[in-house]
Structure 1
Amino acid sequence: METDSAILHDFSPLFRQYKSGRVERFSGTTTVFPSPLDPTTGVSSKLAVIDPFTPVSACLYLPSNPPSTSKLPLLLYFHGGAFCIESAFSQTYHPHLTSLASRARLLIVSVDYRLAPEYPLPAAYDDCWSAVKWVFSRADPWLARFGDLRQVFLAGDSAGANIAHRMAVRAGLEGLGFEGMALVHPYFWGSEAVGSEGREESWRAWMDGLWRAVSGGGKGMDDAWINPAAEGEEAVARLGCRRVLVCVAERDPMRERGRAYWEMLKGSGWRGEVEIVETEGEGHVFHLEKTEGDGKVRELMDDLVRFLTKDREKGWEGDRLPDDCA
């Protein structure tokens, strides 16, 4: 007779899954309640329900003194955590997004999607696409009053950057467009090592096992969900955004994948603008583990703010907004 202590998967330090179905997460579980006013930045935050049946929700961030006669650019943010930990309401993300909303003067929608392994992919992709449609529907009063649907950005770190890429690919297929997309230390991988990527068999086996656990077991390491190169340049050539920023870190095990993605975009025939920035001496999502007082964190934040505020008056010049949101 099996007990609750029988382990099915152990992917410490992320999570452990028991044969009973119970999942034990080891990080990203400390939450922060949205606040009407952040005393340092003046940013307001609140919970919004996107789909009460799934459920999918979001944390919205509104900078202080929003304009009364114009609109604010919108940022759809997807948190990281290997698809299996963290949330839009975790202590990890609240300070980061509060600061970003204040500095870049953005209305941010941080999406709280369902997590694997209880809800393996494509659950997170489906939830985030629901959030995209929800944003364009202006369903929330803040979106209706303050959001500029001609200046919508996608962004995310790690698994969230992976999600942002998938949203831009889907948008391109459906003829939709975003102003820009910022990928911070994107969670891309593959069966064969590229460049200076680690070749240790045990490490690559751990990565393979984790991916199979969060993707439901039916997706290999060369599936397009985890390895954009498998989809081919023709897919990214139709990417549904005007500009892309790829951020990598020197000591990030996934650094080479981010650089390969940048190179693929440049050579794909995609008509947009792509740039890459690299942080020396730092590892994966270091900016979430340190305070903004750290010099390298400030530099990365400066790059993100510059990207998100560049050409602010131009807006998207693509095909169209979603049919049900125009």
Structure 2
Amino acid sequence: MLGRSGAWEPSARWLVRLETVRNIEDPITSRGAFSVHLGSGAWSCRVRPLQGSIEKTGLATITLPIAVPTEVGDRFVLFDAGRRMVVAGGLVLDPSPARRPDTSMASAPINTADDRATSLLNARGVDTVERLAAHSGGGSDTSAIAAGKWLFSRSWAESQERRAIDITRSYQETNPLRPGIPKASLASRLRIDQATLESLVDWSDQLSETGAAIMTADFAGTLSDDQELTWQTARRKLKADGFAPGKISDLGVGRELVHALVRRGELEELAEGVFYLPDTLQALIDRVRSFTEPFTVSEFRDALGVTRRHAVPMLEWLDREGITKRRGDDRVVIQSTP
């Protein structure tokens, strides 16, 4: 079989429609020594009628020992060695169906390549551009939703988005301080892989990705009365400590509460375990911009009255923010343009 590179997507299991020959006496069942003949090729195969048996016409899956290139609309004949005869003619409806085949392909339009691509995507819900083209004979679905290498049927994407939002909101209500539901957990609940989930989230304007978690776009997390009291007490202490705050864990602020406060923009982590209030960081910028000469870490430390534990993370943060720039052992202030 000749074709351009990438034009074929071999598969070893097909959804087919079988039509028995006129002189067959017994219906086709899963029991038989079958072989499928397609083009110039012939392969032994297993046949599983979706309704248990086929007397005249019906749907079945055919499983081959090797993957064979085929596409929607390909015709073949089915031979039964036990009967020593051709028992049916067949039409490929889906070259690579789901474990539970979508039987809508039996009545879907497949006259043109684009018809076949649209029908396949509606049955599968999600597919890659290359695979859909290969299985439809070069067709495309112009109504599909594109997300990276993936194509979604609109009905599938909207249905999965609704389910993802419901699952995510439920998780957020139970775990208000966490950044969102873990991707692996949400993908499992939706019965899709993580790559497909990430593409779905990229398309959706109601879901967003944060690290290894998914959250709804309007999620900010809420603090209980006790957590709010803990935070306000810790905030006053952090404000009083200025440029040399103590360990956040010593203030009774738990890890999940810290993560929630960082997401809300009420804390910023400069290094592991070193947290500052946004107001303190702004005061740091104002203070540093008053420096007129290059300075070392030691000079910076002494000017602010802090230890090296605080000085180094602050300087590295200032470098990242474009406030200072390192030159050898010194740092210089980058003057902001008016």
Please indicate the TM-score interval, normalised by the length of the shorter structure: under 0.3
Q: Which of 1 and 2 has higher RCO (CA within 8 Å, sep 6+)?
A: 1
Give the structure with higher Rg (CA).
Answer: 2
Query: As a proportion of its length, which structure holds more helix?
Result: 2
| TM-score scaled by length of structure 2 | 0.23
| TM-score scaled by length of structure 1 | 0.24
